[in-house]
Structures are given as C-alpha cells and as structure tokens.
C-alpha cells in the first residue's frame, strides 16, 4: 500500500511516515504543493494524506487534481480544528475524510485503513486477530464460529483496537475516537473504563482471550501478552 | 431609556429659515410703516404750516374770522394760552358728505399770534390716502411672506429628496457593508462636499477595521495551523516513547505528564482560537434553524455517556423552536451545555432539555452554586474540582449568544440548575 504524505513540517512528516511504515505502508513525502503535484503526476498512490496549509498553495487544490487522474485514490485531509470551511470545502471537492490537528497516531492509522478499505472494497474487509474476526462490511464480530453481539460503541472500540494492535492507546485517545468532543476530558476515566470492562467481559464470555491490557495507568493495549 | 425626538435635517433648516424670514418680514413691515408714519407727519406738518400762514395773512388783511377758510376754524382768544397747551393733534373719523363713508382726518389745533391778539386755529386734514398707502405696505408683505413660505416648503419636498439622494445612498451603502467579505463598500458619487467628506471618512474607517479584521483572522489561522503542528509533533513523540517498553517502565509518569500537558495546550489553543474567531465575527453562516432535529442528534450522541453515569435524559422539544444562528456555533453551544450538565449534574433526577416557541433550556440537578452565575461565564473560571476542564465552555456559550443577540439566563429552582437561551430584543 503506497501512501503520499503532503506535509510541510518535516518533523511531523517524518513522525507520520514512521507510524505508517511501522504499520507496513510504503510512504512517500512531499513538503510542498509543487512537489506533491509532481509526485502525483509520476506515481500512483493508494491514499494521499494532505495538510491544507502548505507554503506554496492550499492542499485543497490538490484534491481535484487527484480526482481527475485516479479516482480510486483515498484522500485524507488534515485541517486545524474548528476550521469548518476547510473541512466542508475539502469534503465537497472529493476528500474521503478529514482529521484535525493534532491527531493521535492510532486515529490516523484507523482513518487511513478505513479509507483504503472503502476504496479497495470487497476484497479486504475482514480484520483478524487470533480467533477474533471483524467483518467491516457487515459490521459483524466473530470469535471462532460464534457471533459476538456488541453495542455500537463497543464495536467501534474493538475495531479501533484491531486497527492498532500492539499499540498503547491512551484513554484520551480512545475517548476522542468514540465520542469526539461530546465528552469532557475530566470524565475520560469512567467512560472508557466502563466500555473496556464490558468489551472484555463479552469477549471472554464468548470464549476469547482477554486481549485488552491496561498499561501504566495511561491507557490500554490490544495484544496477546501484556 | 427615552430617546429624544429627532427631525430631518431639511425640516429643521426649513423651520429655522421660516422663523428667520418671518422675523425679517415682520421687522421690515414695522420699519416701513414707521417710515410711512414719519412721512405722513412731515407732509401734514407742511400743509398745516401753509394753512397757518394763510390764516395769519388773512387776519392781517382784516378779513373777518367767518370769512377765513372753511378748513381752518379760527377763534379769537381772550387771553394768552398757557405755554405747552398747544398744538393739539387729534385723529377723527368724519362721514363723507356724498357717500357717508367714514374717512380718517387729522386735526391740528394751534394758536397764532397776530398783532398781540391770539387766535386759536383748528385745521382739519384728510389723511385717507396716506393711511391707505400705509396699510397697503403692511398688507402686501403678508401675502409675500406666505408665498415665500409656501415656496420653501415646496422646495423642501421636491428638491430636498433630490439633494439628499446621495446621502441616503451612502447610508444604504454603509448599512449593506459587511466586514471581511473582501467586497469594497459601494462608492456613491456626489458633488456635495459634506457628503463626500462623510463618505471618505467612512471608507477610511472601513479600511482600518478591515485591516484589523484581516490581521486578527490571519493571526487565528496562523495560530491554528502553526501552533498545532509542533503540538502534533510533541504528541507523536510522546506516543513513540509510549510504545517503547524499556522507556515506559522507568519514565511512564513523566511521559504521561508531557502527553497530558500537550493535549491540554492543544485544546486550550483550539478553544481560545475559536473564541477569538467568534469575537471577530468570522462565522457568518447565520441561518434560521429549527432546533429540534439538532438537539435530538446531540441527545442521541450523549445518551450512552449519560447511561454510563446512570443519568436519565428527558426531552420536551417543540417543532416550532427556531434560532437565527450559525449551525456550527449552535453545535458548540449544545455540546458545551450538555457536557456541563453531564459533568456537574447529580443523578437525583434527569437532565432535561426543553424547548418551546421562544426558549431553549437545559437543566440538571445539583447543589446550589457557591458563586454567582456570571462568575462561571468568565474565562478560565475553575470551581476547584481539578483542572482537567479548561474553564472556557460557558465563556464560549456566552460569546456565541452575545454575537447572535441571544440572552443567556440562569435560574436555580427545585434543586435544579436551569440554563436557558432566548432571543433578545
């Protein structure tokens, strides 16, 4: 899976590249509009991550270029929070999704995977972790042969973990993913803990293992061993 | 507050002008009649003098008193008159012999001395012509004044509209002008100096305000993009460290602090930016929105959070409740009010969200406030329950309400905090 990352801040760009590479993506970087355009002309990418504020132009203007050339490329735009116009403009021009800065690494991975899944539909819609399976097309979870009945939020939470196995997800990160800014930061603990507890219980009751481990009081990690 | 009554400039000037003309006409009428009076007096005096000299001549020539001119009754006095007793002037009306019309006369009674005898002479003179002349002057001035007044009023109505057309056009241009759209205020061409000065001043002011607006907008945009990038780097680095088990076993606490503070800073700058953008009126998408579906969406979004805290949510929503507000900002208002209710409410009873034609109210149970509600609207107010919350939520709500002329009310009744929003006047 090839991804083009358009971001002018080299440190941020390198970090994101590192995250994506850890997850097995091949990442090309472009630090300005001109470079991004050149690369888009030369190569094909499965997904493009675009920061809107570029030194020599608006990342928004890249979207129609991509859409003209290759309609199957996933586009994720990165905007400042509360920049409503940018979000709307980006989505209107054909971006698949947006992410507000600063974002969690896990959130980025989840969004990219979800976009890729939508674009390369039908083939690749099952996620697997040991005997745990998620069919994202049908929103179904299986443990072995058994179907696991989850609430909407529990499903979202499990999917988030499955997109980010073996990675520490902080409580803030999880809360933000599940509830956006409907949640007061001070309440993270209880809410996240409640969901984790219920999800664990359901998985264990259905014969699965407890894959969700608390880490250093900061968050949780989805892995075989703690 | 009672506003003092105001008048149109043109009506005012017309009114003042009319008063001035009236005074001018009135005083010139007074002057002219006075002049006429003096002229009459002078002319009569000459006639009287002529008559007196004639009577004197006739007495000297030995004519009997009866024979002397009919128009000068002459009586011989037995003694010398007291000084200052004569002459006596008197205005009388005497019927005309032919028409019987009463006509004005003026008589002069005086004494003449002829050869050491004294004669009283009573001379009668018609002043009809003089008086008609004087009255004609006065009477001619009244219609002249009325004509002029009518003329001025007509001018006011017909020409005033024309003269003030550029002024009204400038006012309309001012009214229609909106900051930050990048459209210059319409320029009205006029040859009236005052209007041009006013318009130029307006354009200069607009330019300054426009510049301020742009600077602030750029500032918030820069803040949003440029501050968030390093913050993203900090967060990413912290996450990289978190992934490193060796580091975590020793430094989990420190990393958590860096991570938490970074997040706090990021939320803080987001929210402050949002506040500044609202203050700078950068959200212009005001619409009349029916709130019911939006409120329902938000309630659905927090339903599950409420259940986790074993809160009940009760709603009583009216289909008729509408607000004129930017939808994005209305989302923020709802999010913040609901978040507050969830955070500070106690589960003695449900969180209720009610709307009727005018009001939107959100209430939750809880102990009475220890400080006045206004205090909670201040930025960075914390009630001491830890500092995880920014203390900006209600400030945001207040700011948004102010910008949309909405009134934010607070009441504490039956153990519940009720915050309501209604349109202001």
| pLDDT digit string, tens, across residues B225-234 | 778 788 888 8
Which of B304, B342, B387 to mutate to probe the A interface, most A CBs <10 Å? B304
Residue B315's pLDDT is: 92
Instruction: Give the pLDDT mean for B59-79.
Output: 75
Does A162 lie in the same domain as A67? no
**Is the per-residue pLDDT at B400 higher than 90?**
yes
| Axis-axis angle for helices A105-119, A171-179 (nearest 10) | 40
Which of B180, B225, B258, B280 to mutate to probe the A interface, most A CBs <10 Å? B225
Q: Given strand A219-222, what is the order of strands in its sheet? A: A168-170, A219-222, A212-215
Residue B390's pLDDT is: 73
Alpha carbons B212 and A178: distance in angstroms, whole number? 39
Average pLDDT, chain A: 84
For chain A positions 20-49, those within 8 Å of chain B (CB to CB) are: none
Residue B293's pLDDT is: 93
Average pLDDT, chain B: 84
Residue A27's pLDDT is: 93
Instruction: Give the pLDDT mean for B186-205.
Output: 88
- What the block records as the tokens of B176 is 């229609």
- A50, A85, A119 - which closes a domain: A119
For chain A, first and last CA: distance in Å? 29
Interchain CB contact of B76 with A (< 8 Å): no
Does A211 lie in the same domain as A143? yes
Residue B316's pLDDT is: 93
- A87, A119, A151 - which closes a domain: A119
Interchain CB contact of A60 with B (< 8 Å): no
| pLDDT digit string, tens, across residues B86-97 | 788 888 888 877
Residue B1's pLDDT is: 53
Residue B192's pLDDT is: 86
> Which of A2-16, A201-215, B18-32, B171-185 is least confident?
B171-185
Does A139 lie in the same domain as A60? no
| pLDDT bracket for residue A50 (50, 70, 90) | very high
Alpha carbons A107 and A99: distance in angstroms, whole number? 8
Put simply, the answer to whether A183 touches B328 (Cβ < 8 Å) is no
Residue B384's pLDDT is: 59
Interface pTM (ipTM) of the complex?
A: 0.75
**Is the per-residue pLDDT at B2 higher than 80?**
no
| pLDDT digit string, tens, across residues B240-278 | 888 888 888 888 889 888 988 888 888 888 888 888 888
Residue B78's pLDDT is: 76
User: What number of other Cβ atoms are within 10 A of residue B245's Cβ?
Assistant: 10
Residue B383's pLDDT is: 66
Question: DSSP letters along B365-405, please?
Answer: E-PPPSS-HHHHHSTT---SS-S-S-S-HHHHHHHHHHHTT
Percentage of residues in chain B having pLDDT higher than 90: 16
Q: Looking up tokens 């007509």, which residue turns up?
A: B154
Interchain CB contact of B331 with A (< 8 Å): no
For B195-340, where are the E strands, in sequence order? 287-290, 313-316, 322-325
Can you count the helices (H) and strands (E) in chain B? 10, 11
Does A213 lie in the same domain as A145? yes
Does A164 lie in the same domain as A143? yes
Count up the domains in chain A and report the number: 2
Residue B364's pLDDT is: 92
Alpha carbons A107 and A120: distance in angstroms, whole number? 20
Among candidate residues A226, A4, A182, A14, the one with its CA nearest the CA of residue B232: A14
**Is the per-residue pLDDT at B127 higher than 60?**
yes
> Which distant-in-sequence residues (6+ apart) come within 8 Å of B265 by Cβ?
B231
Instruction: Give the pLDDT mean for B374-388.
Output: 72
What are the φ and ψ backbone dihedral angles of B392, each rounded to 5 degrees?
-120, -10
Does A136 lie in the same domain as A115? no
**Is the per-residue pLDDT at A221 higher than 80?**
yes
Residue A121's pLDDT is: 54
Is residue B138 within 8 A of residue B31, CB to CB? The reply is no
Alpha carbons A174 and A188: distance in angstroms, whole number? 9
> Which of A4-8, B129-133, B321-325 is least confident?
B129-133
| pLDDT digit string, tens, across residues A139-179 | 888 888 888 888 888 899 999 998 888 888 888 888 888 88
Alpha carbons A49 and A68: distance in angstroms, whole number? 17
**Is the per-residue pLDDT at B378 higher than 90?**
no
Interchain CB contact of B310 with A (< 8 Å): no
| pLDDT bracket for residue A185 (50, 70, 90) | low
Residue A101's pLDDT is: 80
Interchain CB contact of B263 with A (< 8 Å): yes
The boundaries of the domain holding residue A7 are 2-119
Is residue A172 within 8 A of residue B266, CB to CB? The reply is no
Does A182 lie in the same domain as A98? no
**Is the per-residue pLDDT at B370 higher than 80?**
yes
Does A111 lie in the same domain as A25? yes
- A90, A119, A148 - which closes a domain: A119
Is residue B107 within 8 A of residue B124, CB to CB? The reply is yes
Put simply, the answer to whether B240 touches A18 (Cβ < 8 Å) is yes
Instruction: Work out the burial of residue B23: count CB atoms within 10 Å of its CB; fewer than 13 is exposed, 13-18 middle, 19 or more buried.
Output: exposed
Nearest neighbour of A186 by CB, restricted to B263, B338, B386: B386
Does A69 lie in the same domain as A35? yes
Instruction: Give the pLDDT mean for B334-344.
Output: 89
Put simply, the answer to whether B240 touches A185 (Cβ < 8 Å) is no
| pLDDT digit string, tens, across residues A99-138 | 888 788 888 889 998 888 877 654 567 888 888 888 887 8
Does A53 lie in the same domain as A136? no
Instruction: Give the pLDDT mean for B267-292.
Output: 86
Interchain CB contact of A72 with B (< 8 Å): no
Does A41 lie in the same domain as A109? yes
| pLDDT bracket for residue B385 (50, 70, 90) | low
Does A139 lie in the same domain as A113? no
**Is the per-residue pLDDT at B155 higher than 60?**
yes
Residue B157's pLDDT is: 80
Q: For residue A173, what is the domain's CATH number?
A: 1.10.10.10
Among candidate residues B237, B238, B231, B233, the one with its CA nearest the CA of residue B266: B231
Work out whether the CA dihedral A156, A159, A161, A163 comes out positive or negative: negative
Residue B362's pLDDT is: 93
């Amino acid at each position: 899976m090839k991804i083009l990352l358009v971001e002018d801040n080299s440190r941020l760009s390198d970090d994101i590249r590192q995250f994506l590479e850890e997850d097995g993506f091949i990442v090309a970087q472009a630090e300005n509009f001109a470079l991004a355009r050149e690369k888009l002309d030369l190569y094909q990418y499965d997904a493009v991550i675009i920061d809107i504020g570029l030194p020599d132009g608006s990342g928004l203007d890249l979207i129609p270029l991509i859409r003209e050339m290759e309609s199957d490329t996933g586009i994720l735009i990165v905007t400042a929070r509360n920049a409503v116009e940018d979000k709307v403009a980006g989505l209107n021009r054909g971006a698949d999704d947006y992410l507000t800065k600063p974002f969690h690494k896990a959130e980025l991975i989840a969004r990219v995977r979800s976009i890729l899944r939508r674009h390369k539909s039908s083939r690749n819609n099952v996620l697997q972790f040991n005997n745990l399976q998620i069919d994202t097309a049908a929103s179904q979870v299986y443990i072995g042969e058994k179907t696991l009945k989850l609430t909407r939020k529990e499903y979202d939470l499990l999917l988030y973990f499955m997109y980010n196995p073996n990675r520490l997800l902080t409580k803030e990160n999880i809360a933000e993913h599940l509830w956006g800014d409907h949640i007061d930061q001070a309440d993270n603990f209880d809410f996240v803990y409640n969901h984790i507890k219920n999800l664990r219980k359901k998985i264990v009751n259905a014969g699965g293992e407890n894959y969700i481990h608390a880490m250093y009081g900061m968050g949780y990690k989805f892995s075989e061993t703690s | 507050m009672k506003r003092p009554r105001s008048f149109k400039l043109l009506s005012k000037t017309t009114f003042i002008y009319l008063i001035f003309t009236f005074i001018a006409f009135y005083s010139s009428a007074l002057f002219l009649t006075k002049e006429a009076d003096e002229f009459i007096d002078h002319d009569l005096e000459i006639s009287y003098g002529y008559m007196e000299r004639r009577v004197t001549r006739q007495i000297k020539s030995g004519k009997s008193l009866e024979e002397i001119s009919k128009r000068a009754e002459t009586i011989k006095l037995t003694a010398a008159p007291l000084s200052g007793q004569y002459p006596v002037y008197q205005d009388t009306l005497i019927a005309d012999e032919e028409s019987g019309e009463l006509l004005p006369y003026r008589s002069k009674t005086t004494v003449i001395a002829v050869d050491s005898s004294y004669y009283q002479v009573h001379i009668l003179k018609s002043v009809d012509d003089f008086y008609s002349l004087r009255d004609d002057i006065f009477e001619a001035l009244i219609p002249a004044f009325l004509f002029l007044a009518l003329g001025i009023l007509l001018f006011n109505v017909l020409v005033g509209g024309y003269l003030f057309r550029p002024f009204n056009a400038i006012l309309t241009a001012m009214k229609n002008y909106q900051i930050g759209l990048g459209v210059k205020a319409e320029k009205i061409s006029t040859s009236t100096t005052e209007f041009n000065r006013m318009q130029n001043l307006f354009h200069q002011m607009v330019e300054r305000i426009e510049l301020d607006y742009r600077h602030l907008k750029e500032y918030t945009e820069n803040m949003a993009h440029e501050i968030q990038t390093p913050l993203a780097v900090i967060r990413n680095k912290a996450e990289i460290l978190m992934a490193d088990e060796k580091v975590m076993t020793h430094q989990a606490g420190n990393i958590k602090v860096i991570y938490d503070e970074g997040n706090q800073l990021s939320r803080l700058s987001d929210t402050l930016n949002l506040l500044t953008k609202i203050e700078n009126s950068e959200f212009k998408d005001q619409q009349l929105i029916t709130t019911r579906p939006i409120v329902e969406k938000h309630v659905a979004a927090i339903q599950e959070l409420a259940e986790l805290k074993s809160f009940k949510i009760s709603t009583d929503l009216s289909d008729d409740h509408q607000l004129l507000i930017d939808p994005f900002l209305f989302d923020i208002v709802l999010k913040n009010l609901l978040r507050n209710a969830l955070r500070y409410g106690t589960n003695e009873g449900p969180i209720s969200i009610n709307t009727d034609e005018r009001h939107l109210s959100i209430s939750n149970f809880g102990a009475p406030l220890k400080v006045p509600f206004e205090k909670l609207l201040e930025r960075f107010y914390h009630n001491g329950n830890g500092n995880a919350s920014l203390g900006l939520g209600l400030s945001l709500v207040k700011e948004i309400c102010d910008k949309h002329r909405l009134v934010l009310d607070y009441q504490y009744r039956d153990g519940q905090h009720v915050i309501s929003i209604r349109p202001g006047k």
